[in-house]
Structures are given as C-alpha cells and as structure tokens.
Structure 1
Amino acid sequence: MIKQAVRMKLYPGQEAEYEKRHKELWPEMREMLKKHGAQSYSIFLDRETNYLFGYLEIEDEEKWQAVPKTAINQKWWEHMKDIMETNPDNSPISEDLVHVFEL
C-alpha cells in the first residue's frame, strides 16, 4: 500500500459547499477512484486557514497517475474550480506532503 498526502486550499466561505459536494460525490467518480487503485481517501479541513489535507492509500503509483486524464476527473475539476484554488487546467493547486512519522 502506498500512502500519499496533499494540501489544497478552499476559497473563503466555501467550506460548507465543499463538504456538500463531497457528500454528493458522483457514483462514476467514486467508481473511477476505486478502479485506479484508491483503497482509502480522506480529506480534512483546517477551518482557520481553509487548507484541505488529503490522505490517500493507493495500490499502484502508475495506475493512480492516470486519474487526471480521465473524463470524469476532468468534469470534477470543472465542477470544483469555483470554490477552490486551481491551476489553468482546473486541477486543484496542490502540494505533496512529506510522510515523516507513523505509529
């Protein structure tokens, strides 16, 4: 199992909308994530800074790298771009976090 963590950022005042959209995650998005090896995917919000911390457990790095190219992922990015910081291709601006400890 490969563990990864990323940091992203919401626009101010978009916390409830972000949570709502993820509670209503499209079935085809959920299916695509699993098909590409996501065993576990959790996102946490720091309400003081609006930073999101995503934690993933994936099966295979190569399979996971194909996620951004899927049509459903592109559609999701388009759906989310109005509530979070994004790149010109609508992907979330994200920073990989370094794993420094595990119990």
Structure 2
Amino acid sequence: MSRVSFKMYLKPGYKEEYKKRHDAIWPELKKLLQETGISNYSIFLDEETHTLFGVQEIDGNASSQQLGSNPIVQKWWAFMADIMETNPDNSPVTKPLEEVFYME
C-alpha cells in the first residue's frame, strides 16, 4: 500500500458546487476507483488560494490521476471542467506533492 498526494485548482466561487458534485459522486466512478485499488481518498481545500489537496492510498499501480484513458474518468473530467483549472483534455491541472513527513 502506498500513498500519493497532489494539488489541483478550483476556480474562485465554486467551493459549494465542487462539494455538491463530490457528495453525489457517480457510483460507477466510485466503483472504478475502488476496483483499481484506490481507498481513503480525501480532498481538502485551501480557500485562500483555491488550491485543492488530494491524498489517497493505493493498493495497485495507478492513482486516480492515472486513469485518464477510462471513459468514466473522461466523462467526470468534462463534468468538472467548468469549475476547475483544466488541461486541454479536461483533466484537472495537477501537481504531485512530495511527502516530507508521515506519522503512523
């Protein structure tokens, strides 16, 4: 089991919409993430900078950010593109983060 973390960027004024969409995450997307070995997935928001901080545990080879060829993920990215900073393919602009401390 490994952990990965990354940051993404929410457009200003969309905190409630972002939360609403994730509270109603599509069952097929949740199932895909779980079947891929992704668990304990959290996203936090720094409201001052509109930076989203994601962290997830992975029991497999791919984080959620590496599932971009899956049609479900592509559909989710398109659904979220209006409220996040995205790349030309609608994937969220992400930056991996280096772990510098962990306490069990």
TM-score by length of 2: 0.93
| Contact 1:2-1:61 at 8 Å conserved across structures | no
2:42 match:
42
Long gaps (5+) in structure 2:
none
Whole-Å Cα distance in 1 between the matches of residues 68 and 79 of structure 2? 14
1:91 match:
91
Comparing both structures, which one devotes a greater share of its residues to helix? Answer: 1
User: What is the percent sequence identity of the aligned residues?
Assistant: 48
Whole-Å Cα distance in 1 between the matches of residues 53 and 65 of structure 2? 19
1:78 match:
78
Whole-Å Cα distance in 2 between the matches of residues 13 and 64 of structure 1? 25
Give how far 1:88 is off. 0.2
For residues 32-78 of structure 1, the C-alpha deviation after alignment (integer angstroms, 9 at most, x for no partner) is 10011102110000011110000010011258675211110000000
Q: Which structure 1 residue ranges, 4+ long, deviate > 3 Å from structure 2?
A: 62-66
Over 3 Å counting, the alpha-carbon distance change for 1:57 and 1:93 in structure 2 is same
Whole-Å Cα distance in 1 between the matches of residues 14 and 84 of structure 2? 8
Aligned alpha-carbon RMSD (Å): 1.5
| Contact 2:12-2:50 at 8 Å conserved across structures | yes
1:27 match:
27
Long gaps (5+) in structure 1:
none
The alignment status of 1:53 with 2:66, answered yes or no, reads no
